[in-house]
Amino acid sequence: MAEFDNSTPYSTHAAPSWSSDGEPVLAVAVKAVLRFDARGTLTLDSAPAEIEPTDRFRSHPQRSGVAAAAECVPHKQGAEVIVNATAQTGDHDLRVMEAGFTLQSPHQGIVRGAHLAISGPRRYERGLFGLSVTEPGRIEPLPVVPEYAYGGTHPDNPGDAYAANPVGCGYWRRRKDADGQPLPQIQWYKQWVTALNQRPKPAIIAALAPHWEPRRKERGTHNEAAAQGTGCPIGEDASAAYYNSAPPHQRFPQPFRGGEIVTLTNLVEGQPLNHPFTFTLPTLLPEAMLFLGQTRSHLELVHDTVVIDAERREIHLLFHAMAPWRLTERRKAFIVLDDPSLAGPDNQPLLANP
């Protein structure tokens, strides 16, 4: 379908897709992977992982969260940051702690992030005075994934699920169902769940599954009949955020430009407890030219996604572009990719944290 002449150390992928307006397009994705060390020094990976073609789940899609969101999409609304991390105690004996991150975009004048409260295991327990919540146990390094945030699905009634996080814990309608069941260990700071009638917003910083809210509403009505043929599966009621996968509180109105300041707290192994770990993202400027038959066109690559994998000490910078594409197109597209911002030894960018 598409062949790349790639002079950069970035991963690339192109595939037919649909814009959120229902137009057939060729989606082009470019991914740069940066690695950071204990001091926050960034280096560009010369052999990054392949681009994720579809959403990848930790286990069954109905019983787990997204491990990696689809990366070959034509566009996103504004920009977004996704965080995959593990809460780190630094071997301290803790029952409750704080953790979180921020991404500051100086050119937009906006800071997005999450301030989380982490607890050791808790559960509902029936006693002489009814149902109560046990004291939290010791915190072990805890993956910050939706499975430990508020939500859940009734085991005897799959239709009774918390739409914003059906794989979480703590969501019970009846006291007899809740007895002995776990409560969320990841919550928003100072918003502890202590009673069955509470329905808090799940504390999620990773990608949302497409069938969870609010993504399900943003994706609108799926046109199954069209999907079975050659038509567009995206309904007319889909929003411009159709391809966004980050929680709304981690989205930005405009694309990134580089210079964004990232701060992680208690999410990087080996760092002192409660000590902010900060680095600044570089400005990368990938350029792409599309050749199709006798025509050529410039592809506007938009830096719309940052994925922070704190456990692997990686930062993924994703750029997306799209070009009109005929459903009957049989010619192979040829895409030339370069990046004039790469400089210095080993084709490294001019990083803000040398």
Give the chain as a 3 state SS string: CEEEEECCCCEEEEEEEECCCCCEEEEEEEEEEEEECCCCCEEECCCCCCCCCCCEECCCCCCCCEEECCCCCCCCCCEEEEEECEECCCCCCCCEEEEEEEEEECCCCEEEEEEEEEECCCEEEEECCEEEECCCCCCCCEECCHHHEEECEECCEEEEECCCCCCCEECCCCHHHHCCCECCCEEECCCCCCCCCCCCCCCCCCCCCCCCCCHHHHHCCECHHHHHCCCCCECCCCCCCCCCCCCHHHEECCCCCCCCEEEEECCCCCCCCCCCEEEECCCCCCEEEEEECCEEEEECCEEEEEEEECCCCEEEEEEEEEEECCCCCCCCEEEEEECCCECCHHHCECCCCC
Q: In DSSP terms, which residues pair with 130 in a beta bridge?
A: 127
Range of weakest confidence among 87-91, 171-175, 267-271, 334-338: 171-175
Give the number of C-alpha atoms closer than 13 A to the C-alpha of residue 88, restricted to the C-beta side.
Answer: 19
Pairing assessment for the beta strands 110-119 and 96-105 based on DSSP bridges: antiparallel
Two tokens, residue 86: 């593990």
For the segment 302-321, the average pLDDT, to the nearest whole number, is 98
% pLDDT > 70, the chain: 95
Contact 310, 264 (CB under 8 A): yes
Contact 13, 51 (CB under 8 A): yes
Grade residue 353 by pLDDT with cuts at 50, 70 and 90.
Answer: very low
Pairing assessment for the beta strands 150-151 and 169-170 based on DSSP bridges: parallel
Grade residue 345 by pLDDT with cuts at 50, 70 and 90.
Answer: low
Q: Does 13 reside within a domain?
A: yes
CA distances from 7 to 45, 182, 258, 340 (A): 14, 51, 21, 10
Q: Does 106 reside within a domain?
A: yes
Q: Does 164 reside within a domain?
A: no
Q: In DSSP terms, which residues pair with 347 in a beta bridge?
A: none
Task: Provide the pLDDT for residue 352.
Answer: 44
% pLDDT > 90, the chain: 81
Task: Provide the pLDDT for residue 348.
Answer: 57
Q: Does 75 reside within a domain?
A: yes
Q: Does 71 reside within a domain?
A: yes
pLDDT digits (tens, 9 = 90+) for 215-255: 999 999 988 767 677 788 898 899 999 999 999 999 999 99
Chain CA centroid to CA 18, Å: 21
User: pTM of the entire structure?
Assistant: 0.94
Q: Does 127 reside within a domain?
A: no
Q: Does 299 reside within a domain?
A: yes
Range of the domain at 57: 2-87+97-115+204-209+219-347
Grade residue 347 by pLDDT with cuts at 50, 70 and 90.
Answer: low
Task: Provide the pLDDT for residue 63.
Answer: 92
Task: Provide the pLDDT for residue 280.
Answer: 96
Angle at 246 between CA 240 and CA 250, to 5 degrees: 100
Tell me the average pLDDT of the chain: 93
Range of weakest confidence among 89-103, 128-142, 220-234: 220-234
Total domains in the chain come to 1
Range of weakest confidence among 10-14, 169-173, 252-256: 169-173
Range of weakest confidence among 218-227, 269-278, 307-316, 325-334: 218-227
Contact 184, 193 (CB under 8 A): yes
Q: Does 139 reside within a domain?
A: no
For the segment 306-330, the average pLDDT, to the nearest whole number, is 95
For the segment 3-15, the average pLDDT, to the nearest whole number, is 96
